Amino acid sequence: VSASLGSWRRAADAERVDGVTPASVGAPSGSLDTLDWTGSLSLVSHGARIGVRVNEPAVLERLTPYLPPGSSPAPSPQVNDLYSLWVGNGEPHRLYRGSATLAQTYDLEAVFEALESALSFNVAVAARRGLFVHAGAVGWRGRAIVVPGRSMSGKTSLVAALARAGAAYYSDEYAIFDERGRLHPFPGRLSMRNGHGASAEKRSPEELGLRVGSEPLPVALVAVTDWQRGARWRPRTLSPGQAMLALLDNTVPAQLRPKLALTTLGRVVEGSVALRGKRGEAEEVAASLLEHPATDNHHQREGD
């Protein structure tokens, strides 16, 4: 997948989306270009084209687990965004997007994780196929359960509990919806925290023994919930309009592609039930969601 440094091109005709220049168009990398970059890769994920260059080729092999799930080598070195990872060799390691510094630390693993987050977010913003919503998601009895929420809302622990209870793992960070409102997998590593507020440790679904779903699924349930110590799961049902606002509030490119967001989320909510409430322990809520009548489906596929 590596491409020669001299072949890098940033897409000059940055596509304008709904009249807004997308944030995916990175700033020129400026003086970074003069450094001695000796290895690189370019990838494409959901239509987003991204490049990564490094000053130590051996580092490229270690990046594989940190690349966006489902991404593949790009056929062309032309990219919309370029990341530069400088291994410090006694100095701090540095990560850049364009010319902007994203991370600077002696901990190379921390730089890899910063790159992982940045790449996934980049794909979520710049994707040309699918609508990315900040949400965890699983498949169950041929339909999807979606848990929208931002970082620290506790969605990972709920998704993990659902998957441990037999659901198929689809996403920890971003739920991807197609134009029909169906969920597609984005099965990245899960950010597991030992206690609320603790630092996260990323684990692959395979390490956790989770089964990963692959089929696109219509959405059965949307669970809007935050963890709260001692809370009991007594949700109320949201109207479709309320559910749509809850999803829109977590839609990454909502401002960039509002028309796509409205039509896609409209399809998501029209066939699903949405619940909102505080929750305590993830296992209790997971069991309740899996037994919810909305998840009954004659066409059983994933999670049977």
Give the interface with another protein as residue ranges (CB under 8 A).
23, 121, 124-125, 134, 150-153, 239-242, 244-245, 248-256, 258-259, 261-263, 265-266, 269-270
**Distance in Å, CB of 246 to another protein, minimum:** 9
Which residue number, 71 or 251, has a Cβ lying nearer to another protein? 251
**Distance in Å, CB of 255 to another protein, minimum:** 6
Which residue number, 20 or 58, has a Cβ lying nearer to another protein? 20
**Distance in Å, CB of 132 to another protein, minimum:** 9
Q: Which residue has the tokens 């260059």?
A: 53
3-state secondary structure the chain: CCCCHHHCEECCCCCCECCECCCCCCCCCHHHHHCCCCEEEEEEECCEEEEEEECCCHHHHHHHHHCCCCCEECCCCEECEEEEEECCCCCCEEEEECCEEEEEECCHHHHHHHHHHHHHHHHHHHCCCCEEEEEEEEEECCEEEEEECCCCCCHHHHHHHHHHCCCEEEECCEEEECCCCCEECECCCEEEECCCCCCEEEECCCCCCCCECCCCECEEEEEEEEECCCCCCCCEEECHHHHHHHHHCCECCCCCCHHHHHHHHHHHHHCCEEEEEEECCHHHHHHHHHCCHHHCCCCCECEC
* CA 217/CA 134 separation, integer angstroms: 17
**Distance in Å, CB of 26 to another protein, minimum:** 14
**Distance in Å, CB of 52 to another protein, minimum:** 20
**Distance in Å, CB of 125 to another protein, minimum:** 5
Which residue number, 15 or 91, has a Cβ lying nearer to another protein? 15
Which residue number, 167 or 260, has a Cβ lying nearer to another protein? 260
Say how far residue 71 (Cα) sits from the centre of its chain.
Answer: 12
**Distance in Å, CB of 253 to another protein, minimum:** 6
Which residue number, 5 or 25, has a Cβ lying nearer to another protein? 25
Tell which residue, 230, 223, 168, 221, has the closest CA to residue 196: 230
**Distance in Å, CB of 78 to another protein, minimum:** 23
Question: What radius of gyration, in Å, describes the C-alpha atoms of the chain?
Answer: 20
Which residue number, 251 or 295, has a Cβ lying nearer to another protein? 251
CA atoms within 13 A on the CB side of 213: 34
Which residue number, 124 or 167, has a Cβ lying nearer to another protein? 124
Which residue number, 138 or 246, has a Cβ lying nearer to another protein? 246
